[in-house]
């Protein structure tokens, strides 16, 4: 909501020179009132109701009953032929990760298309469950006879009808699934599905923010800090994994754009779902560090150390100690002092 307020304010400022402050942007009283792509959230959700009604009309027009296979074929027909929804092969655009954008652009990530499929079927009285298998998120109708999902009729199994090409791709882990192995999969809860969507957004926005530093990841090994005139110690670089300020020069200007803010926002929300996930909190702390929010980074990484395995905590400890010093130096300079802060 805050991001959209700022976008509204920028648009007003560009169109009306006499507007002097972003505070004149519309302040929506609730999330439901805020327009997204020309519609409110309830109006976008009603699109799912409309899709379900189209499926019902398709079943009536063909004088088809409520057999499971026929209902799913009708859902596929409406979603992927009538509505023209397609799966983005590579997640490169954030609009493919938001429901309203997917419904308007008709192209979405695998997880968003699965969410739409689940919600449409729920409106038809059909329960669809899902689980993450390798890089794919697979869905299937809830049934006490999972082996029925893998019986091939008309060239495809029911499992393939729901999940598409990945099931028949020998390179995918989904191609090895059977009725027995399906029972061993952990069914994703709503919280799990939201977590997958947020994790995708974090990766996407971080990739954009670090574009000028190709290959730099949040989990990249931390490098030792060397003085300007000191040569890196190539023999001992794994023993003192501390800071990598040389990587900040290219990232800092990009972090002033919205990608850093959106990545951190998505990370904050994922932490609400997974507060004890030490790896996630470490990554969140590293994003704050790259954004030079040293105080917040120290806080998050210190919490992370309480949950992390002992060997990970040992790596983080000297890094956090250095961050404490950087935080002090930053505070020192903000008070108008010049020169480096020396610690006896």
What span, in angstroms and rounded, lies between the C-alpha atoms of 149 and 167? 12
What is the tens place of the pLDDT at every residue in 160-171? 888 877 777 777
The answer to whether 225 and 243 have CB atoms below 8 angstroms apart is: yes
208/128: higher pLDDT: 128
Asked whether residue 239 carries a pLDDT value surpassing 80, the answer given is: no
Among the residue ranges 191-195, 208-212, 251-255, the one predicted with the least confidence is 251-255
Asked whether residue 4 carries a pLDDT value surpassing 60, the answer given is: no
Asked whether residue 62 carries a pLDDT value surpassing 90, the answer given is: no
The answer to whether 85 and 158 have CB atoms below 8 angstroms apart is: no
- Rounded to an integer, the average pLDDT of 177-181 is 85
**Percent share of the chain, pLDDT over 90:** 30
DSSP string, 89-121: SS---GGGGSHHHHHHHSEE-HHHHHHHHHHHH
- The C-alpha angle with vertex 109 and arms to 212 and 144, in degrees rounded to 5, equals 140
Of the candidates 172, 149, 171, which has an alpha carbon nearest to the alpha carbon of residue 160?
A: 149
Q: What is the pLDDT of residue 27?
A: 65
308/229: higher pLDDT: 308
- Rounded to an integer, the average pLDDT of 106-126 is 93
Q: What is the pLDDT of residue 217?
A: 52
Domains, in order of start, for the chain: 37-188 (3.10.620), 192-221+252-333 (1.25.40)
Tokens for 166, please give them. 């990945």
Of the candidates 329, 268, 273, which has an alpha carbon nearest to the alpha carbon of residue 300?
A: 268
Asked whether residue 311 carries a pLDDT value surpassing 60, the answer given is: yes
Q: How confident is the model at residue 255 (pLDDT cuts 50, 70, 90)?
A: very low
260/81: higher pLDDT: 81
Asked whether residue 5 carries a pLDDT value surpassing 70, the answer given is: no
Instruction: Read off the pTM.
Output: 0.74
Q: What is the pLDDT of residue 173?
A: 80
- Rounded to an integer, the average pLDDT of 260-267 is 87
What is residue 175's DSSP assignment? Answer: G
Q: What is the pLDDT of residue 204?
A: 86
Among the residue ranges 10-19, 181-190, 253-262, 323-332, the one predicted with the least confidence is 10-19
Asked whether residue 193 carries a pLDDT value surpassing 80, the answer given is: yes
Mean pLDDT of the chain: 77
- Rounded to an integer, the average pLDDT of 186-208 is 90
Alpha helices, DSSP H, located in the chain:
2-15, 41-61, 68-76, 99-105, 110-123, 158-163, 179-183, 190-209, 248-255, 258-273, 278-290, 294-307, 310-334
282/28: higher pLDDT: 282
Asked whether residue 20 carries a pLDDT value surpassing 70, the answer given is: no
Asked whether residue 284 carries a pLDDT value surpassing 70, the answer given is: yes
């Amino acid at each position: 909501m805050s991001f959209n307020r700022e976008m509204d304010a920028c648009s007003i400022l560009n169109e009306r020179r006499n507007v002097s402050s972003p505070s004149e942007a519309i302040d929506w009283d609730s999330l439901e009132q805020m327009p997204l792509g020309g519609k409110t959230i309830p109006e976008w959700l009603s699109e799912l109701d409309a899709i379900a009604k189209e499926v019902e009309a398709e079943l009536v027009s063909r004088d088809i009953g409520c057999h499971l296979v026929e209902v799913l074929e009708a859902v596929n027909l409406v979603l992927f032929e009538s509505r023209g929804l397609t799966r983005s092969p590579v997640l490169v655009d954030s609009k493919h990760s938001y429901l309203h954008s997917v419904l308007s652009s008709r192209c979405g990530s695998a997880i968003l298309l699965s969410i739409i499929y689940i919600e449409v079927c729920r409106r038809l009285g059909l329960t669809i469950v899902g689980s993450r298998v390798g890089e794919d998120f697979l869905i299937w109708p809830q049934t006490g006879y999972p082996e029925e999902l893998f019986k091939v009729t008309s060239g495809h199994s029911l499992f393939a009808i729901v999940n598409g090409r990945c099931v028949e791709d020998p390179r995918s882990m989904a191609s090895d699934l059977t009725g027995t192995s399906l029972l061993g999969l952990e069914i994703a809860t709503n919280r799990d599905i939201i977590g997958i969507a947020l994790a995708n957004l974090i990766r996407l926005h971080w990739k954009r923010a670090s574009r000028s530093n190709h290959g730099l990841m949040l989990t990249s090994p931390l490098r030792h800090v060397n003085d300007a005139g000191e040569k890196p110690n190539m023999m001992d670089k794994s023993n003192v994994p501390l800071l990598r300020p040389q990587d900040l020069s290219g990232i800092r200007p990009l972090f002033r754009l919205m990608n850093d803010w959106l990545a951190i926002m998505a990370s904050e929300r994922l932490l609400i779902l997974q507060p004890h996930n030490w790896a996630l909190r470490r990554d969140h702390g590293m994003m704050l560090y790259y954004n030079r929010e040293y105080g917040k980074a120290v806080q998050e990484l210190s919490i992370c150390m309480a949950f992390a395995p002992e060997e990970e905590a040992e790596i983080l400890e000297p890094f956090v100690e250095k961050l404490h010093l950087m935080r002090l130096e930053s505070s020192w300079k903000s008070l108008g002092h010049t020169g480096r802060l020396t610690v006896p």
